[in-house]
Amino acid sequence: MINAERSFWESELYDGEFDLIVIGAGLTGQSIAHFYKGSHPEEKVLVVDRGFFPIGASTRNAGFACFGSVTEHMADMKIEEEPKIIDRIRRRFNGLKLLRNTLGDKNIEYREPGAYEIFTDQKVYKEALAHLDTCNRWLNEAAGVNDVYGATEHNGFPAISIKHEGCLHPGKMMRTLYEKNLKLGVEFRWQSPVSEIRQNEGSILLENGIELKGRQLAVATNSFTSKLLGDIKIKPGRGFVLVTKPIPDFKWKGTYHYDAGYYYFRGVGNDQLLLGGARSLDIDVETTTEFGTNEKIKNHLLSFANDVLKLPQGWEVEIEWSGIMGFTPTKSPILKRISDKAIVVAGLSGMGVALGMQLGKEASELLRVES
């Protein structure tokens, strides 16, 4: 930390009070700021983040604009009641519409190249087919769309096609939202880690000793929430992703799911494959807020690319990274008031692209405008 005395001119900047302070500059946090500032342009809104840019999952995900595969819905049946699953699908579907309408398809490179869930186990495939009617009914009740899931074959695999699913560029998504917030007059403080949230006072203490005061606080730190608010139980989940160098005669140009959504892959760039997931192989180790590569998972995904996807010999990895997601026990997100001056939004459970902006909008409506 730079050790410098405060000037007369800086005092107003340090000591002034904001109407809203948002902790976390990811998709959810910036969406809170966006919709709140848009509804209350006279209010002073500040977003703080510990990174040079959002570093949790908003710019580190695989860019899927999805609402759930059939086997993921099947897994959800074991931990959640049907009405809540339908409501979660509704939120995901509406969240993607809101995201696209707010930011614009061209700005975020949104496209729908064709989406599929592929299968290598005939028993699992038959079980999934037996759930098609149920899942299609859920999408109809949640979003008013028909025949979303259908039995098919793709690249030699038994598959289920998924209508209305797409993909986008997470970096351009966040850049577009950031630029829109700047135009609205939202202020930002980057590289400002928060050490303490004083939810009853409406203030936060940064690691550099600076206290920022607000009439209201919105905590939108997803997987890292438990570090700041110990009574909010969110389990982190690290996800590994790699992108190959260009592949000749590339055939995986769509978006794909496998094994209840634990594996995901899609075509990106210049005939390149993005492949990620397999967190289920080492779930305890991957329940962490530490970035890094689990070699067990990486090696398994390399084998998956060779043995299942049959990538041509000699293909190479161009780049790899990890992102940290936040999960609730039932996968339903948390949105609630924790004091008269603070709310929390967390636990998007791997569906941040679909849920982040919708939850941000709902959170902005929960906040109170002080007279």
Whole-model pTM?
Answer: 0.95
Instruction: Give the bridge partners for 204, in sequence order.
Output: 197, 212
User: Two tokens at 292?
Assistant: 């890094």
pLDDT in tens, 97-140: 999 999 999 999 999 999 999 999 999 999 999 999 999 999 99
Distance between terminal CA atoms of the chain?
A: 37
Type of residue numbered 167: C
**Alpha-carbon distance 241 to 62, whole Å?**
7
Q: What are the φ/ψ torsions at residue 125 (nearest 5 degrees)?
A: -65, -45
Note down pLDDT in tens along the chain; length 371 residues: 566 777 888 877 777 899 999 999 999 999 999 999 999 999 999 999 999 888 878 999 999 999 999 999 999 999 989 999 999 999 999 999 999 999 999 999 999 999 999 999 999 999 999 999 999 999 999 999 999 999 999 999 999 999 999 999 999 999 999 999 999 999 999 999 999 999 999 999 999 999 999 999 999 999 999 999 989 989 999 999 999 999 999 999 999 999 999 999 999 999 999 999 999 999 999 999 999 999 999 999 999 999 999 999 999 999 999 999 999 998 889 999 999 999 999 999 999 999 999 999 999 999 975 43
The number of beta carbons lying within 10 Å of the beta carbon of residue 314 is 8
User: CA 337: distance to chain centroid?
Assistant: 21
Residues 6+ apart with CB under 8 A from 13: none
Quickly list DSSP for 76-102: HTTTS-HHHHHHHHHHHHHHHHHHHHH
Type of residue numbered 99: L
Residues 6+ apart with CB under 8 A from 77: 85
The burial class, CB within 10 Å (0-12 / 13-18 / 19+), for 230 is exposed
- Set out the domains of the chain in order of their start, with CATH numbers: 17-59+171-234+330-366 (3.50.50.60), 235-327 (3.30.9.10)
User: Two tokens at 240?
Assistant: 């590994």
Q: What are the φ/ψ torsions at residue 252 (nearest 5 degrees)?
A: -105, 65
User: CA 33: distance to chain centroid?
Assistant: 17
**Alpha-carbon distance 240 to 293, whole Å?**
7
Contact 359, 326 (CB under 8 A): no
Reference 162, options 144, 143, 146, 149; nearest CA is 149
pLDDT in tens, 234-287: 999 999 999 999 999 999 999 999 999 999 999 999 999 999 999 999 999 999
**Alpha-carbon distance 223 to 235, whole Å?**
7
